[in-house]
Amino acid sequence: MGMAELTREELEAMDREELKALLDERGVEYSPHAHTPTLVDLALGESPEAEAQAADEEVEGLVQVEAPEFYTPQVFSPWELPANTVAAQQFISQGVVVDESLVPEDDVLAAANNEIGLYGHPEDPRLTGGSIVNEPLTTEQLAAPPPREIEMPETVEEHRTWGEKLEAEAAEGEAETEEANA
């Protein structure tokens, strides 16, 4: 009796060794550790690999639908980018949308100029009215910015204790009230 004449029920009722003998007779390769249901599938001409290949073909045949974009990209003004020019250029290279037509308020612009002057690159195009998007700094310009000297206000250190400072403030307050009463 050939394998094609046997039904699934008949093959499942067979002993494991009989299934192996049938597969050997037909010349079907199988793993010696294959489970009995796998041997039955092979005897019926169904292989798990063929089923997987058919499933892959079915998936490939599906129409690719473009996923909807749920998140709209954030749009920045060049003045909202980091003060550090290298970091700002990295934001731009990663695809952040920079709209140069956005004009910040005067106080935001002044603060950005101050931040770029202190922490950015001295040749930052934003400081000269240029575009950081269209005029990025070269690697040579970014390599070694010239040293900056930040002017610190002079402070006079008074070496007084907390109690002495409170007494001095109280004395100043009394002097002001006496002048106001006079």
What six digits make up the tokens of 178?
């006496």
- Please give the torsion angle defined by the CA atoms of residues 106, 112, 116 and 118, in that order, rounded to the nearest 10 degrees: 90
- pLDDT averaged over every residue in the chain: 77
Helix, strand, coil percentages for the chain (3-state, nearest 5): 50, 0, 45
The pLDDT value recorded for residue 1 is 46
pTM higher than 0.75: no
62, two tokens: 């599906």
- What is the DSSP secondary structure assignment for residue 76, as one 8-state letter? E
Beta bridge partners of 76: 98
Residues listed for the chain: 182
Predicted confidence (pLDDT) at residue 153 exceeds the cutoff of 80 = no
Higher pLDDT, 106 or 74: 106
- Would the pLDDT of 53 be above 70? no
Return the higher-pLDDT residue of 169 and 56. 169
What is the DSSP track for 49-67?
Answer: HHHHHHHHHHHHHSPP-PP
What's the whole-number mean pLDDT along residues 156-174?
84
Domain coordinates in residue numbering, the chain: 3-60, 75-143
168: its two tokens:
């001095």
Across the chain, where does the E strand assignment appear? Answer: 75-76, 97-98
Q: Which residue has the tokens 């002097």?
A: 175
160 with 113: CB under 8 angstroms?
no
Tens-place pLDDT, residues 55-98: 666 666 666 667 677 777 778 888 888 888 788 888 888 878 88
Contact yes or no for 127/113 (Cβ under 8 A): yes
Q: What is the arithmetic mean of pLDDT over 119-133? A: 77
Dist. CA 66–CA 63, nearest whole Å: 10
Mean pLDDT of the region 110-131 = 79
pLDDT band of residue 117 (cuts 50, 70, 90) is confident
Please report, for residues 47, 50, 51, 58, 59, the alpha-carbon distance to residue 54 in angstroms, rounded to integers and kept in the order given: 11, 6, 5, 6, 9
Task: Report the distance separating Cα 95 and Cα 82, nearest Å.
Answer: 15
- Within the chain, what is the greatest distance between any pair of CA atoms? 130
